[in-house]
Structure 1
Amino acid sequence: MYVAPTPGKTAVQDHVALAEIELCGDLIIAASAADEERLSPDRIDEVLKVTDPDAQERG
């Protein structure tokens, strides 16, 4: 992501904060499209692309 510098000021990017904002946006989109009142923990993991390392060993 490119942020145009403001004349006379230094442009600062916080890549971690930008990534967190993107993940929050993904959750908001998923929640607004969901039929249920709340997202299940499994659905949240799916949206955030979280994998269970132990599941690979079990499966």
Structure 2
Amino acid sequence: MAQDHVALVEIDLAGELMIAAATSPEDRLSPDRIDEVLDVDADRDARESAAKAERDSATARRR
């Protein structure tokens, strides 16, 4: 089941990249544009928030 979810997410991301490439006036998407399309900053922020929550939880358990 989890593999199906991952595959669907990957298909969705590939589709987003194809749409961005098809509508781009340039021949290739820049790395910054790819990050923008894939919303890399939001993903990074979510991972950092999750890591901080885990650290805070571990600290609280040690007390």
Q: Could you say whether these structures have the same fold, taking a TM-score greater than 0.5 normalized by the shorter chain as the test?
A: yes
% identical equivalent positions: 64
Superposed structure 1 runs of 4+ greater than 6 Å apart: none
**For structure 2, which runs of at least 5 residues remain unmatched after alignment?**
46-63
Which residue among 15, 24, 32 is the counterpart of 1:34?
A: 24
Q: Report which of the two has the higher share of helix.
A: 2
When the two structures are aligned, how many residues end up with a matched partner?
42
Stretches of structure 1 that go unaligned for 5 or more consecutive residues are: 1-11, 54-59
RMSD over equivalenced CA pairs, Å: 1.9
User: TM-score, normalising length from structure 2?
Assistant: 0.61
What is the TM-score of this pair, normalised by structure 1?
0.65
1:1-59 equivalences in 2 (<5 Å): 14-51=4-41
